[in-house]
Amino acid sequence: MRKILLIGGTGFLGSAICRHLSRRLAKADFSMTLPTRRRERAKQLTVLPTVNVVEANVHDPAALARLMIGQDAVINLVGILRGDFQRAHAELPAKIAAAAKAAGVRRVLHVSALEAAADAPSAYLRSKAAGEAALRAANLDLTIFRPSVIFGDGDSFLTLFARLAKIAPFFPLACAAARFQPVWVEDVAASIVDALDRPESIGQTYELCGPRQYTLRELVSYAAKTAGTPRSVIGLPYAVAWWQALLMELIPNGPMSRDNLLSMRVPSVCTAGCTLPFGRVPTALEVVAPSYLRDGRWRAGNDRRRKKARR
Ligand SMILES: NC(=O)c1ccc[n+]([C@@H]2O[C@H](COP(=O)([O-])OP(=O)(O)OC[C@H]3O[C@@H](n4cnc5c(N)ncnc54)[C@H](OP(=O)(O)O)[C@@H]3O)[C@@H](O)[C@H]2O)c1
């Protein structure tokens, strides 16, 4: 029996990885353990026969040590857009590295973010870089993934714009010229699952991007139009955007923060054009997004879960 610990596995990307693993591996051959802060929020995953959702505080080294027992690999997906970045993105990977080492779990896969760097403009990207560094320093069989923004049914990106387009007559948009290279959640999940069985991925850092770059303005217009509610987008000057973000920080789980603005100063695009590892061909946004944006068919589930979970 092959055992995989999926930390942060109850969210958008984790659910896709669970589906891929469940499909790809023979049921009798493996099992996944997914720790969560609240088991009831991960009900949709408890129905998968190979998935064991357990309530645990992964920040507690003793709890982590228990979770590591008997595992063959650990995948860390914990990530937040607001809150204590240092704790979630830097301290937790360091604790995971220590627990994995102590338990003899050598294989570690970790999801970071494109353009994570110690000197990045945003605390989010700096904390992601610190997490990568902590894991690298532990000298494990490590693979790091750095996706651009991820789209797919249940995303909190295109779906948010489509949803806002239903209620707003136009979009006053911060950082309209910011660049992204969105990558499909299924392509990200498949790349991570591929890496589990590829020794050549050990020691590698993979950027994950879709086939095309877009400005934020293009993405917002596209989402609104595809949802059947085309809207004009009005780019905001940075100073106005800063005040808008400050106000949104006052709303619990508001859609924007000042740190998000700082993140968008760095283009979230792949350095070598479009890249996915292992010869995988990235799926175009236009092929997938209409299936969940058109006529408001998007899945509310992840958004609601994130709100409840305050992530
Ligand atoms: N989605 C994107 O566009 C995107 C782009 C680039 C990078 N990434 C990275 O990809 C990873 C997965 O993203 P996602 O979209 O799947 O995120 P998500 O849907 O928000 O899920 C986040 C997961 O992290 C856990 N979590 C959140 N805050 C936590 C905390 N303070 N302590 C412990 N666990 C916590 C949640 O577990 P609970 O069940 O306990 O709530 C959940 O399983 C993250 O590292 C993210 O930074 C995502």
Q: E strands within the chain?
A: 2-7, 30-36, 51-55, 73-76, 107-111, 141-147, 150-151, 170-173, 179-180, 183-184, 205-208, 214-215, 232-235
Looking at the DSSP assignment, which residues form a beta bridge with residue 31?
3
Q: How far apart are CA 10 and CA 79, in angstroms?
A: 11
Q: How far apart are CA 189 and CA 275, in angstroms?
A: 14
Q: Whose CA is nearest to atom 12 of ligand 1?
A: 77
* pLDDT of 115: 95
200-240 pLDDT per residue, tens: 999 999 999 999 999 999 999 999 999 999 999 999 999 99
Query: Mean pLDDT, to the nearest integer, of 252-258?
Result: 87
Q: Whose CA is nearest to atom 23 of ligand 1?
A: 8
State the closest ligand 1 atom to the C-alpha of 302, by its place in the atom list counted from 1.
19
Query: Is residue 310 within 8 Å of 176, Cβ to Cβ?
Result: no
* pLDDT of 295: 66
* pLDDT of 26: 59
* pLDDT of 302: 52
Mutate to test the pocket of ligand 1, among 53, 64, 77, 205 (most ligand atoms within 8 A of CB): 77
Mutate to test the pocket of ligand 1, among 12, 32, 206, 285 (most ligand atoms within 8 A of CB): 12
The whole-model pTM stands at 0.94
* pLDDT of 304: 52
Residue 303 confidence (pLDDT) above 80: no
* pLDDT of 215: 98
Architecture of domain 2-151+184-208: 3-Layer(aba) Sandwich (3.40)
* pLDDT of 47: 83
* pLDDT of 274: 66
Lowest mean pLDDT among 3-12, 148-157, 275-284, 291-300: 291-300
* pLDDT of 41: 82
Lowest mean pLDDT among 5-19, 62-76, 192-206, 287-301: 287-301
Count CA atoms within 13 Å of residue 101 on its CB side: 14
Q: How far apart are CA 241 and CA 197, in angstroms?
A: 45
Q: Whose CA is nearest to atom 18 of ligand 1?
A: 11
What lines the ligand 1 site, CB under 6 Å?
8-14, 36-37, 41-42, 58, 77-80, 88, 111, 113, 147, 149-150, 157, 302, 306, 309, 311
Cα of 232 to ligand 1 centre, how many Å? 31
Residue 36 confidence (pLDDT) above 90: yes
- Provide the residue ranges of all domains of the chain, joining segments of one domain with +: 2-151+184-208, 158-179+211-267+283-309
Lowest mean pLDDT among 79-93, 156-170, 176-190, 286-300: 286-300
103-148 pLDDT per residue, tens: 999 999 999 999 999 999 999 999 999 999 999 999 999 999 999 9
263-288 pLDDT per residue, tens: 999 999 998 766 899 999 999 999 99
Q: Whose CA is nearest to atom 5 of ligand 1?
A: 149
More confidently predicted of 216 and 301:
216
* pLDDT of 29: 75
The per-residue pLDDT of the chain, averaged, comes to 92
